[in-house]
Amino acid sequence: MRNVGKMGIHYLHKLNAANVPKELIENGQNRVIEASLTLIRERAKLKGELVRALGGSSASASLLGVPLGHNSSFLQGPAFAPPRIREAIWCGSTNSTTEEGKELEDPRIMTDVGDVPVQEIRDCGVDDDRLMSIISESVKLVMQQPPLRPLVLGGDHSISFPVVRGVSEHLGGPVDILHLDAHPDIYHEFEGNKYSHASPFARIMEGGYARRLLQVGIRSINKEGREQGKRFGVEQYEMRTFSRDRNFLENLKLGEGVKGVYISVDLDCLDPAFAPGVSHIEPGGLSFRDVLNILQNLQADVVAADVVEFNPQRDTVDGMTAMVAAKLVRELSAKISN
């Protein structure tokens, strides 16, 4: 996906060299961006109106896809994940009820506002600074239609920074974050990229968008990851001590004194026996039931969430990881909705 995204950018640079007016390109970019935001705005408005008309809901999960993969340091397959997750949610191999009995076909539990057209925007020559702002603005458009709350389908983990920023800015203050992952993703930057999927939580903490950050499932962390964790006061729970920490992690209470709780689930938090379709396979992870126990027992007002780093190009076992991602989305919808 990295090469695909750069083709349009490279060609636009050639056009600039050929004395094409800069304003022509900028005006075209602005039109594409406005059209992209308009579609999300209007879909969110429609879904918000529907949920409000039905009544009885103070919070409803709304899917927002962010098919971005170019900030991955290894493989870019997560850009293809959102449609595969949606397909698995509604594939018919299981019913549409969550474990606690919430019905996903009820729009008060889950709606869908579509995708941010990441590749189309990048093909117009839009850089990552502006792309991240577009993602943040898309999140805000969803939250401007209460009771909708964004449940974001990645994409690589770089999307968590603009999503959390949009949530925090809309709510007017920091959130607490529960982050499940094999990696802390808190490098200052990685391979010269400040927006790398290995760096979103450094950007989040620098920006003051989170008060408390708990990282669970960690089992691939180096010196910088630990130093950055100490710098930002991150609570890092490594797999090597999970048996000791289990009782605490399965009975978390978060969000008191802040605007709510954000949940970020990187599929590689799971042991690859449960989720082989990820870019960075790291043995020794959480079981799927471990993750569900943590999420289902969490006491919190969950204002938004993401599921990231599913790589369909590595999901070779009959769509197994797609179904795992779908199940997480279903259960997060239940957690968000009330």
Binding residue numbers: 157, 181, 183, 185, 266, 268
Helix%, strand%, coil% for the chain, nearest 5: 45, 20, 35
Known binding-site residue numbers for Mn(2+): 157, 181, 183, 185, 266, 268
CA distances from 292 to 57, 250, 270 (A): 23, 9, 11
Backbone angles phi, psi at 310, to 5 degrees: -75, 130
- The helix-helix angle for 81-89 and 320-336 (nearest 10°) equals 80
Grouping H, G, I as helix, E, B as strand and the rest as coil, residue 40 is: helix
**Straight-line distance from the first to the last Cα atom of the chain, in angstroms, rounded to the nearest whole number:** 38
Grouping H, G, I as helix, E, B as strand and the rest as coil, residue 316 is: coil
Helix ranges restricted to H, 1-60: 2-17, 22-54
- d(CA 140, CA 150) in angstroms, rounded, equals 9
CB 194 within 8 A of CB 186: no
What b/e readout covers 164-192, taking b as 16+ CB neighbours within 10 angstroms? bbbbbbbbeebbbbbbbbbbbbbbeebee
Structure tokens at 310: 């599913």
